[in-house]
Structure 1
Amino acid sequence: MAHSHDDHVHEADPACAVAHGEVVPDASHVGERVLVAVFASPVADHLLRYGADLGYRAVLLEPDSGRAEEATNGAEVVAKVPAWLDATADVVVTDHDRPELGDVLHELLAYPCRWIGVMGSPRHTAPHVAALAERGVPPEQVARVHRPIGLNIGSKTPPEIAISTLAGLLADRNGRPGGFGF
């Protein structure tokens, strides 16, 4: 039986074989991953849903019990920063206008989270900077908070914003710049 060119490509490129469903992907490089979406929102819903598909333990941090009750994405829901946060956690704040922003970020910075980011347009002032400065957080700690976040793909809808954010997190975890450059 003759092999097509594609057969030889799959043999030489394991990623291609995985993409075609010919082999089970090796997920040993993934390890424990935790995705914490801060504040219930449409973007948080998509982040946590897609994050679970990517192997993250999905956690919604929502201090407002009324808003937490509305979250129906199947994620674990917590009302305060969990004491078990460690270097496996990627934290995404999905609403930079919430009055709790400064307090939640201040508390999060006490933990060794792998990555912390706040959604928001780079065209607008980053409200977390002033909120953290008011709480006496030193600039080097404020600098741990990323903004803007995600890959620059022109996202406009909650699912697109979630995909952009998760793609950026995966690129960062894998030491890659994101985009189409290989």
Structure 2
Amino acid sequence: MIGSSDPAAVPPGTRRTLAGAAEAAGLLGAGRRAGLVRRTEGSTQLELLLERVAPRPELVIVGVGDDARLLCSLARRLQWRVTVAYHATGKATRERFPAADELQIIPRFAFEQVDVRGKYVVVMSHNLDLDREAVHRMLTPEVKYVGLVGSSYRLKKILEPIRQPGEPERKIDPALRDKLYSPVGLDIGAETPEEIAMSILAEITAIKNGRSGGFLRDRKGAIRGGGTDASLNASTSSPSFLDEPAFPESCRV
């Protein structure tokens, strides 16, 4: 609280957490992470310094190869929360994945046991049967993104319906195809495992931020946060905030 028209009821300097990201987003406006806002609670006029604090984005990696280790390490450096989900093998160990926040050991093919709600998934087991099952199980309405390592031909094979004896045919909902990215990664000519990991994370970051991943020199307008910097500067220096306050200056801190 920066200022209050009723300091006895709501003292300036009070800190509080707003319930619900939607409310905070509505006060700040699209693309803004922080700024000064005014708010009315009953008959009390408040001036707030509001900051949106989001949880760490979450990445799920299906695979335990060296490329998965690199992706896990790089994602952790970028402050992602990383889960490695795989069945029990000699490579699915904490020693091989010290950067992982969670190592989830599941039965082979049991990818439905992995929580992917609101998360980003990269499937990179390099085993056709495992990758196919992972994509079919994890490409859900709740997942944010599923990236699949491999060629376009391999993607075609993985998208084929799964037919198991005694089970109904399973096929991917066409409405979810927009969430599936394969071949995975931005087109930067990546060849080494390190470059491929960087390409994958760059694509995921672009999807998370609602960007296309093009060259910044070709972008029109603000380059960060959809105009976050400009709107934040405007919010803190706008003449409307320098007009006569809605409450006495003695009530401000």
SS in 2 for 1:61: strand
Shift of 1:163: 0.2
The code of the aligned residue for 2:71 comes to L
The code of the aligned residue for 1:152 comes to D
- The equivalent residue for 1:165 is 200
- The equivalent residue for 2:104 is 78
- The equivalent residue for 2:65 is 41
Classify 1:61/1:111 alpha carbon distance in 2 versus 1 (closer, same or farther; 3 Å): farther
- Largest Rg, 1 or 2: 2
Shift of 1:130: 1.4
Partners of 2:132 and 2:95 in 1: CA distance: 22
Classify 1:121/1:79 alpha carbon distance in 2 versus 1 (closer, same or farther; 3 Å): same
User: Which residue, 177, 189, 192 being the options, matches 1:154?
Assistant: 189
Do structure 1's residue 101 and structure 2's residue 131 form an aligned pair? yes
Residues 41-64 of structure 1 show CA distances to partners (whole Å, capped at 9, x for unaligned) of 121111110101111111111124
SS in 2 for 1:68: coil
The code of the aligned residue for 2:116 comes to L
Query: Larger helix proportion, structure 1 or 2?
Result: 1
- The equivalent residue for 2:228 is none
The code of the aligned residue for 2:87 comes to P
Residues 1-182 of structure 1 aligned to structure 2 (within 5 Å): 31-69=55-93, 72-74=96-98, 75=100, 76-80=102-106, 81=111, 82-87=113-118, 89-110=119-140, 112-122=142-152, 124-126=153-155, 127-130=157-160, 135-181=170-216, 182=219
Give unpaired runs (5+ residues) of structure 2: 1-50, 164-168, 220-253
SS in 1 for 2:83: strand
Total equivalences in the alignment: 154
Classify 1:137/1:179 alpha carbon distance in 2 versus 1 (closer, same or farther; 3 Å): closer
Partners of 2:185 and 2:93 in 1: CA distance: 27
| Identity over aligned pairs, percent | 28
Asked if the contact 1:39–1:61 (Cα under 8 Å) also holds between the matched residues in 2, the reply is yes
SS in 2 for 1:100: helix
Task: Could you list the structure 1 runs, at least 4 aligned residues long, displaced by more than 4 angstroms after superposition.
Answer: 27-30, 131-134
SS in 2 for 1:35: strand
TM-score (norm 2): 0.53
Shift of 1:105: 2.1
Q: What's the C-alpha RMSD, in Å, of the aligned pairs?
A: 2.6
